[in-house]
Amino acid sequence: LGANVYKEGTTTPVLPEYATFTAGGQKVAVIGVVTQDTPPLVKPDNVAGLTFGDPVDAVNRVADKLENLPAAYRPDIIIAEYHEGAAAVSSATTLQEKIDEGGIFARIVTETSAAVDAIFNGHTHQVYTWDGPVPGVDGATRPIVSTGQYGTNVGKVVLSVGRDSGAVEDYSMEIVNVVGFAGGRTIADMVDGNQTMEEIYGITLEALQVADAEGAVPVGKITQTLSRDYTKGEYVDGKWQKGTTG
């Protein structure tokens, strides 16, 4: 899903903006967006001809569209999946601290449409569960969850929907450890007796063998020290000047 991935120079999405599911008798729409930092993170050829727009604006645009669908197609629940989130989070970090820092995460928390019932984050590899304020609805909150990295955890959110109101009246959220840490299951536990997991793990081991072999082949040599100074620089009189790597 990529509601904020557009054909270059337009606002025409090139990827599906959302997907729909049925859960607990409810129609659920999941809106997906990616970080605007995508271009420098991947091979340039892979994002040629694309524009990565503001993720919050995209979520709100699609949420509004979903809210205005004919009743037969309108979702009961809207979830926002942001491949973006808060950085540098510890067990002592509060949501208000991250809001006060500003930036994209603060906007996700404070500007995502009130039509969105739950927010999942990614990209920053942090672990948190926060009760986020619902814009324009005094005292109301909604879950904001990020589960770390590499499938170590799963974010479990349970939404309680009123039988008569059709609205989310309560929720719970937790980080469920999957494998390897804090009492989670080991890979051996997950694979043992599970044919699907055995096949997946076999593919993984084969891929690792190929990666080890290919990764050991020299592809070039350097004659000078490599530096990241230019990634920490700034523009001075229209020219990029290197900074320090710190």
DSSP secondary structure of 109-135:
HHHS-TT--EEEE-SS--EEEEEEEPT
pLDDT (tens digit, 9 = 90+) per residue, 154-180? 999 999 999 888 889 999 999 988 765
DSSP code of 45? G
β-partners of residue 142 are: 132
d(CA 144, CA 109): 8
- Residues in Cβ contact with 174 at an 8 Å cutoff, skipping those fewer than 6 apart: 129, 155, 156
CB 157 within 8 Å of CB 173: yes
pLDDT at 181: 55
d(CA 185, CA 179): 4
d(CA 185, CA 192): 11
pLDDT (tens digit, 9 = 90+) per residue, 115-160? 999 999 999 999 999 999 999 999 999 999 999 988 888 999 999 9
Confidence grade of residue 244 (pLDDT, cut at 50, 70, 90): low
Side chain identity, residue 182: A
CB 187 within 8 Å of CB 179: yes
pTM over 0.75: yes
Nearest in space to 32 (alpha carbons), one of 65, 59, 8: 59
Mean pLDDT, to the nearest integer, of 94-117?
Answer: 97
pLDDT (tens digit, 9 = 90+) per residue, 57-68? 999 999 999 999
Q: Give me the residue label for tokens 């001075």.
A: 236
pLDDT (tens digit, 9 = 90+) per residue, 210-227? 999 999 999 998 888 777
Lateral strand order in the sheet of 26-34: 18-23, 26-34, 77-83, 118-121, 141-147, 127-133
Nearest in space to 117 (alpha carbons), one of 56, 73, 169: 169
